[in-house]
């Protein structure tokens, strides 16, 4: 988890997932042979909360970064450490 922040009825999560590429469960990566490489995928999720319930959700994933890590003939260095930040003071 790189960061979590809240304000104005929104919650934002920024994180990375690290896993070994052993198959292709996601359609955007179908047809690629498992590489066995460690892959790092970054994403940001934003949730709008209304009346204590999740009302909306938006997500931004770095699918191109994952694809580059999978498809490169040579291993690609996954993204390194990211800055961390705490809850906003808004």
**What backbone phi and psi angles, to 5 degrees, belong to 5?**
-145, 150
| Separation between Cα atoms, residue 37 and residue 44, nearest integer Å | 23
pLDDT tens, residue by residue, 11-33:
999 999 988 989 887 788 888 88
Predicted model pTM: 0.72
Residue 31: predicted pLDDT: 83
- How confident is residue 71, by pLDDT bands cut at 50, 70 and 90? confident
pLDDT tens, residue by residue, 29-69:
888 888 888 888 899 999 999 999 999 999 999 988 888 88
| CATH code that applies to domain 3-71 | 3.10.450.50
Query: Domain locations in the chain?
Result: 3-71
């Amino acid at each position: 988890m790189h960061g979590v922040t809240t304000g104005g009825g929104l919650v934002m999560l920024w994180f990375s997932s690290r896993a070994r590429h052993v198959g292709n469960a996601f359609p955007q990566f179908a047809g690629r042979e498992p590489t066995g490489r460690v892959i790092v995928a970054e994403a940001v999720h934003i949730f709008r909360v209304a009346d204590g319930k999740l009302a909306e959700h938006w997500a931004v994933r770095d699918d191109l970064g994952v694809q580059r890590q999978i498809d490169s003939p040579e291993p690609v260095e996954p993204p390194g450490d990211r800055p961390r930040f705490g809850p906003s003071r808004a």
